[in-house]
Amino acid sequence: MEKQFIIDDFKIGEAWRLFKIMGEFVEGIERLHDIGPAVTIFGSARIKEDDPIYKKTEEIATLFVKSNFAVITGGGGGVMEAGNRGALKAGGTSVGMNIVLPFEQKPNDYSNIKLEFKYFFIRKVMFVKYATAYIIMPGGFGTMDELFEAVTLIQTHRIKPFPVILVGTDYWSGLLEWIKATLLEHHKISDNDLDILQSMDDPEEIVRAVQKVVII
């Protein structure tokens, strides 16, 4: 079984682990540096093939490939599988960046560029660095983490203000209302921070929203 709590295991004298970290960065950069314009699709690993979210994710990925974008996912099941599947079916570049987990995630069969990471933070750098838009399908804690990573980097001007699109207006409405009613009301964010997030349902509208910002 893959060892758990690997970050907690850093100890004095174990600086050699930094070479493993460097190796993951180097491999990611070498494999992805020339993929061209790409979108990263985030979302739950727990949905099944017959779920409408799976079908919509697959459709979105296919439409992006037909619009000359590569598709990047976390390489696992659920939304990730659907994204890779739609991209591969359309004949495009389908990147799966799998994370090694003890119980939950296994790589899917639908990526033509496969990477494997032990460290979440390196994987998240690759998600952000090589995408020109972030498509957020319904998901759980991992999806929230990836969503707010992108939002924070845009808010702090660490990356360009690429589109961050929440897919599923019903699913995300409670979160957006809480952001407005709590974060904004208590002056923890600014009015223009709300502009970072868009919420949509229609796959073609999602692609058009990205095309308005990203020139290929």
53-108 per-position pLDDT tens digit: 999 999 999 999 999 999 999 999 999 999 999 999 999 999 999 998 776 568 99
pLDDT the model gives residue 3: 55
Percent of the chain's residues with pLDDT above 70: 91
Return the domain boundaries, the chain: 19-209
The arithmetic mean of pLDDT across residues 134-155, rounded, is 97
What does the alpha-carbon distance between residue 89 and residue 185 come to, in Å, rounded to a whole number? 45
Judge whether 162 and 133 are in contact, CB under 8 Å: yes
pLDDT of 137 strictly over 90: yes
Q: What is the CATH number of domain 19-209?
A: 3.40.50.450
Q: Please tell me the pTM assigned to this model.
A: 0.90
The arithmetic mean of pLDDT across residues 185-199, rounded, is 97
How many residues in total does the chain contain? 216
Closest to 40 measured CA to CA, from 194, 216, 169, 163: 163
Other CB atoms within 10 Å distance of the CB of residue 154: 21
pLDDT the model gives residue 104: 59
In what order do the strands lie in the sheet containing 38-42? 113-117, 94-99, 70-73, 38-42, 134-136, 164-167, 197-200
Strands of 18-173, DSSP E: 38-42, 70-73, 94-99, 113-117, 134-136, 164-167
pLDDT the model gives residue 84: 98
Closest to 152 measured CA to CA, from 183, 173, 117, 174: 183
